[in-house]
Structure 1
Amino acid sequence: MRNRMLALAVAAGIGLVTVPTSNAAQARPSVTSRIAVHFDLAKGQLPENVALGPDGTAYVTFAAARQVAAISPAGAIRILATLAAPADGGADTPALGFALTTGIVRTADGTLYFLYASGDAATTGLYRLRPGQQPQRIAALPATGLPNGLAYDEPAKTFYLTDSVLGSISTVPLNGGNARVWSSAPELAATGFLGANGIKVRHGAVWATNLDLGTLLRIPIRQGRPGPVQVKAAGLAGIDDIAFAGTPDDQVIATLNAPNKVVRIDADGHSNTLPIAGLQNPTSVAVRGRTLYVLSAAYLTATDPNLVLATLPRH
């Protein structure tokens, strides 16, 4: 899988690129970090996305293993669900050629929701996983696409999800049903590999990333419909997942996958690199207080998929 991912990254022009920085981005804030958990590469434990529980448990999707797992604060790994591989092993999965679990969300009642991209119409979709039960698909998604990022709008009881191949954001009601394309704006499109990727809902707007274009986007939600797309930051090659942190909380922490970096982006779109040790192609990030959870899938390094815990400086 590493060779395939490397070939795709090079073809998409995101291989070993670096992130252009402005003079304002040169300062390196003080950050302490440590590798909290090492995952098993041979078992396909490549963490793709993360959601946090109130007790500090990290709920992650292991992409290549097609699994959902709980990582305790002490570092214990518990597999909660494994999805069956399609008959072709996932070879028809667009862009990647292997079936994978991707975005994940945890709701207040402890239910997990996650995406599965398999290239198979019978299994690609949004799944619900209640504690102690088996996963259930609650919305079918196009097998011709690659459902990737997942976010939840609690007041609207609505999921928003990105499709990195189709270049779109769709919505699904909390209880499941038909997925509806919410936006297919050109700013979401792929230009060679993967387009719309990470996604969050924040203060009446959808925030999303475009990996190919290296952009951070904000789309206002106007009576349930998308407003004009705003490019909040650019020049972020390989941008994947995002989280919000700091005061004001419109600071964005972003993972840059192939460049092997985590950056903080201010309200003016300026970015600086956080000095975090142990990164191996970081795919996802979550923030609780001053603690930063960074998961690396080692898609290109093929060395040490892991979970890094970092402490952000006070402001």
Structure 2
Amino acid sequence: MSRHPRLAAVAVATAALTLLAAGPASAGDPTVSDPRVVAHFKFTDGETPENIALEPDGSALLTFSLAHKVVRVGRNGSGPVEVATLPTVTDPPSSLVTGIARAHDGTLYVNYVTGTEDENGIWRVRPDGSAPRRIVKVPVDGFPNGLALDERCETLYAADSARGVVWSAPVPDGDEEVEARVWATGDALQPTEELPYGANGLKLHDGAVWVSNSAHSTLLRIPIKRNRSAGPIQTRATGLTGIDDFAFTGHGDTVLAARVTENKLELVRPDGTHKTVLTATGGLSNPTSVAIRAKTVYVPSASYFAPANKKDPNLLLARVSRNKL
């Protein structure tokens, strides 16, 4: 299996995935309207937005996967302003910055996939401008991707696309490093031979860890038990070809999911049915992740699969009506 499944899968992903029919429309669905690209980035400079977190003023914090950076982009598209750069790894040279999570005090947590003993894992970026430091070790064959922070329990959760597990780790007080431990495992999280890219996006929601699996085109829910261990994995939606990261539209279980290889933003209902609400005609170019604040949805696109002459990594904003489903 490739050490870096996102890179290995690029050439085969489109052929390996099969689109299943979306569910019927529902009167209770949130609506997504007025899509507009507020910022364009340079693919040749590695400005490929992989994941997103939001600041209190609505600015977007983006991980540029290939440039190994975290940047800030204003709601009006201003920037990008560099927030942090992860240290260069020359062997192997195909390192990636993936998931990001933000604490209320402005501390950032970022996944760095390097395949090296000293760098692979979760890094902390403090708001005081000090150099990023790794705080959670992940094995060299691991690919930490989606990331979430439970501030109440001071615990980080990361989906591993290569190993097909969910890691957890306590947030250390100082700069010491801790080892990631397997929090959840099972066939539903695994990659496949056809697409070596399994557990991908990850969110904490309503007492559970939710995970997307790109290889199986599924959205999964893993209850958090009272002792903080993982409950049985539940499949909540299928047929989500090319699913990457996702976000919840409100307190209920309705999701907006990025379908990276399909150039689509998908609305996934609590019963598992789903429909497309945005496409490439609205500006998507291989969307990777989703964030929602009030009536605004943010969708970064990395343009991984676009033709060389049509690569347009960007940040798109749209209006979203919120529901309680």
Give the TM-score of the pair, scaled to structure 1: 0.91
- Quote how far apart the aligned CAs of 1:155 are: 1.8
Identity percentage of aligned residues? 42
Following superposition, the deviation at residue 9 of structure 1 comes to 3.6
Contact 1:115 1:150 in 2 (8 A): yes
Is the alpha carbon distance of 1:14 and 1:135 closer, same or farther for their aligned partners in structure 2, counting shifts above 3 Å? farther
Between the aligned partners of 1:30 and 1:125, the Cα distance in structure 2 is 35
How far did residue 10 of structure 1 move?
4.6
The total of aligned residue pairs comes to 304
Q: Find the partner of 2:235 among 231, 249, 267.
A: 231
SS in 2 for 1:283: coil
Of the three residues 199, 203, 207, the one matched with 1:200 is 203
| Compared CA separation, residues 154 and 21, structure 1 to 2 (3 A) | same
State the match for 1:263 in structure 2.
Answer: 266
Aligned residue in 2 for 1:60? 62
- Shift of the 68–14 alpha-carbon distance from structure 1 to 2, 3 Å rule, reads farther
Alignment partner, residue 173 of structure 1: 170
1:113 is matched with 109
CA contact (8 A) 2:51 2:63 kept: yes
**2:147 is aligned with 1:150:** yes
Q: Which residue of 1 aligns with 2:74?
A: 72
Structure 2 unaligned regions, length at least 5: none
Q: TM-score, normalised by structure 2?
A: 0.88
Give CA deviations for 1:128-173 in whole Å, capped at 9, x if unaligned: 0012111011111111121111011122110100110000001011
Q: Match for 1:119: what amino acid?
A: G
Deviation per residue, 1:37-63 (Å, 9 max, x gap): 001111100000000010111111100
Q: Which amino acid aligns with 2:244?
A: D
User: What's the offset of the Cα at 1:20?
Assistant: 2.3
CA change 1:87–1:7 in 2 (3 A) is closer
Give, in whole Å, the separation in 2 of the partners of 1:13 and 1:145: 23
The answer to whether the aligner puts 1:295 opposite 2:300 as a matched pair is yes
Write out per-residue CA displacement over residues 173-198 of structure 1, whole angstroms, 9 at most, x where no aligned residue.
Answer: 12252211101111000013200000
Asked if structure 1 preserves the Cα contact closer than 8 Å seen for 2:6 and 2:197, the reply is no
User: What is the DSSP-based 3-state SS (H/G/I as helix, E as strand, rest coil) of the residue aligned with 2:115?
Assistant: coil
The equivalent of 1:94 in structure 2 is none
CA distance in 2, matches of 1:50, 1:29: 21
Work out whether 1:186 is the aligned partner of 2:187: yes
Change (3 A) 1:6 1:127: closer
* Preserved CA contact (<8 Å) 1:29 1:275: no
Does the CA contact (< 8 Å) of 2:10 and 2:304 recur in 1?
A: no
1:25 Cα shift? 7.6
Deviation (angstroms), 1:23: 3.5
* Distance of 1:206 and 1:7 partners within structure 2: 27
Assess if the C-alpha contact under 8 Å between 1:9 and 1:15 holds in 2.
no
CA contact (8 A) 1:69 1:77 kept: yes
1:210–1:14 distance in 2 versus 1, CA, 3 Å: farther
- Separation (CA, whole Å) in 2 of partners of 1:117 and 1:106: 19
Unaligned runs of 5+ in 1: 91-97
Q: Report the Cα distance in structure 1 between the residues aligned to 2:8 and 2:125, rounded to whole angstroms.
A: 34
Give the letter aligned to residue 239 of structure 2: G
2:22 aligns with: 21
